[in-house]
Amino acid sequence: MATSPRPFTPGDLRHERKVTGFSLSPDGETVVFAVQSIVGNAYRSTLWRLPAAGGRAERLTMGTAADGSPRISPDGESVLFISDRHEKEAQAFVMRLSGGEARMLPVIAGGVGAAEWSPDGRRVLLLGPSGERRFSVGKPDDPTALAIDSLVWRVDGVGIRDQRNAVWVVNASGRGKPGRVTPVDVDVTQPRWLRDDRIGFLADLRPDFSEEAYRAYTIRTVGGRPREAGALGGSVWAAAWSPRGALAMIGVEPDNAFWREPHLYVQRPRRKAPDRLAADLDRPVLPTSYGDLIPDVQPLLRWSDDSHLLASVADHGRAHPTRFGLDGTTERLVDGDVVAVDVQSGGDRVVALANIGPEPADLYELRPGSEPRRLTREGARWFGPFRRQVETVSRFDRRTGRIEAWMVRGGRGRRPTVLQIHGGPYASHAPVPWLEMMALASAGLHVVWANPSGSTSYGQAFTKDLDGRWGVPDSRQWLRLVDDLAKQGVVDRDRIGVLGLSYGGFEALWMAGHHPGRVRAVVAENPVADLIAEYGAGDYGSAISDGLTGLGPLPEAAADYLAASPSARITRFRGSLLLLQAEQDHRCPPVNSELVFALRRARGLPVRMVRYPEESHWMAGVGRPDRRRDRLERIVGLFRREL
């Protein structure tokens, strides 16, 4: 007999455990994975080793550090990882899998963001600050001023981009000093070894470098200038080099329009242009769904051998691990409600970190023709008692205008309902709930989430529907969905709340101002509220007029930007509004919430702004535990009170 789920309350956040990353040994026999938990009011991570064929996991690291990003050595004997155990700054460590103490590699001032073994296992590349400051005047720890002459001068989660990221190489033995490989005027991301004497990476070499214009480069480990290895008409989002030198790229063509889907391309040696694999695939070759139960990892692209690549294909909010052959063949390794964020191969084995069904991610072995075999239960174990049924309440139909939507019920019958809107806007929801959805359902409210126009993974034409008219088609689709569910006796259309983060906050404010009679209460978290303010204050601000909104250039189109901003009509909404704002959010900075707060407060309209010190844009998933709990309590409290 099935048991009823336990109510999930904000205080239950303390039980959260996540598998945050893993490494499969070259022979496919061993998995090392990282597990994050909450200890006191901080996150701690430990490394575990597991026989891939089955058996009990063995804990490798102890203590109160955050150990993560494991990489098993080419000989399968050691593991490289990143830890903050050294003065609370991330540095690289190596330890034997047979046991013993972890050994710290030479320190990179400012911390390490990535670490990878060389093919022969003798050296390690590290990604860290270049050592040369771009803007600081005076003492580095107490600057007189910041003299800024670049559009790219800040980034969410980091703050001021005073140093570019560089590749450093160190001996795996720990002897000697780090050697910087890339020039100080090049900002590097996703570095990878090609062979023992050459490294590949993504970068934009222009002075005002941009993540929307990455190309693939290689450089010798002795230094010098980077050599371009591959480019697309738009940007390269992920790259991987085969042992024989073929370059695989996930990126966009023919330009950087934000609604374009990323596809898979291969640049073969001695060919002028890359070939697109699976040219008839109208889906992004990249996971596009996110949430606090879905791990946040770098874009997925790996060679399984010289002729095949592993990646995830986004389809209707899911992300299916797929094997691509250079001969044009494709093989989906698992189907159904799956969001695979990383897939690795070793020997004859393929292992994925994936959400399967409506629960947190775990590790699974994938075998074509068979059900995935679960390797870990760290995600499922803590979440299991709270798990609720996720219902599909609407299916996508381009012809009729129906959108795909899911729901968790707060009880039987017609109830007040909260609409949870994803950010992006060019992203998607999956049939995986967020913790706020569980908390709201436990408090007796229905929660509905959906993929309206602009959502990715339904074909590029559907994504492009939103270009130049943010808030317009998607709000109409949301309201039609509410009406359909009301006719079915599921929701009370007079007691509707809206909740959204980032573009979800934009849409929540848009619906409040443009359809004020349909919404009773709103929570807008780190919203985009004023597009001109966002242009000047956001780390992606210039993208507002470079194609993200589809509205044209500034300042010429300023009137259009004002009309398209939710702040222009937010005083029409008479219901309750809660603004949740991370103070160190550089993606959607506080000026957005501050403007909405001032406009409503000056009119005497109900509004409250809650600010979270030190936190960045994705506080909902990675913020300090007490702040995440406070956030959940305020969301549940507002909707219970007002609906």
Mean pLDDT by runs of 10 across the 643 residues of the chain is 82 96 96 96 96 93 92 97 92 93 95 96 96 92 91 86 94 93 94 94 83 89 92 94 92 90 92 90 95 88 94 96 94 95 95 96 92 93 95 93 96 96 96 98 98 96 94 96 96 97 98 96 97 89 77 90 95 97 95 98 98 96 97 98 96
Q: Answer whether 511's CB lies under 8 Å from 519's CB.
A: yes
Tokens standing for residue 267: 């640049």
Ranges of beta strands (E only) in 389-544 are: 391-394, 404-408, 415-421, 446-451, 491-501, 521-525
Assess contact for 404 and 450: CB atoms under 8 A: yes
Question: Given this model, what pLDDT does residue 87 score?
Answer: 83
C-alpha to C-alpha distance for 595 and 590, rounded to whole angstroms: 9
With contact defined as beta carbons under 8 Å apart, do 406 and 391 qualify?
yes
Q: What is the DSSP letter of 462?
A: H
Please give the distance of CA 477 from its chain centroid, rounded to a whole number.
Answer: 25
**Measured between alpha carbons, how far is residue 409 from residues 418, 483, 587 in Å?**
10, 17, 32
Question: β-pairing, 189-195 with 179-180?
Answer: unpaired
Query: CA–CA separation, 291 vs 359, rounded Å?
Result: 11
Separation between Cα atoms, residue 503 and residue 492, nearest integer Å: 25
Q: Report the alpha-carbon distance of residue 185 to residue 375 in Å, rounded.
A: 44
Q: What is the DSSP letter of 371?
A: P
Q: Which of 532, 540, 406, 425 is nearest to 472 (CA)?
A: 425
Q: What is the pLDDT of residue 200?
A: 96
Letter for the amino acid at 234? Answer: G
The pLDDT assigned to 516 comes to 95
Helix/strand/coil for 42: strand
pLDDT of 298 reads 77
Contacts of 134 (CB under 8 A, 6+ apart): 150, 153, 161, 162, 163, 164
Q: Phi and psi at residue 10, in whole multiples of 5°?
A: -55, -30
CA distance 123 to 178: 10
Exposed / middle / buried, residue 614 (Cβ in 10 Å: 0-12, 13-18, 19+): exposed
Please tell me the predicted confidence (pLDDT) of residue 1: 43
- Return the closest-CA partner of residue 619 out of 630, 608, 606: 630
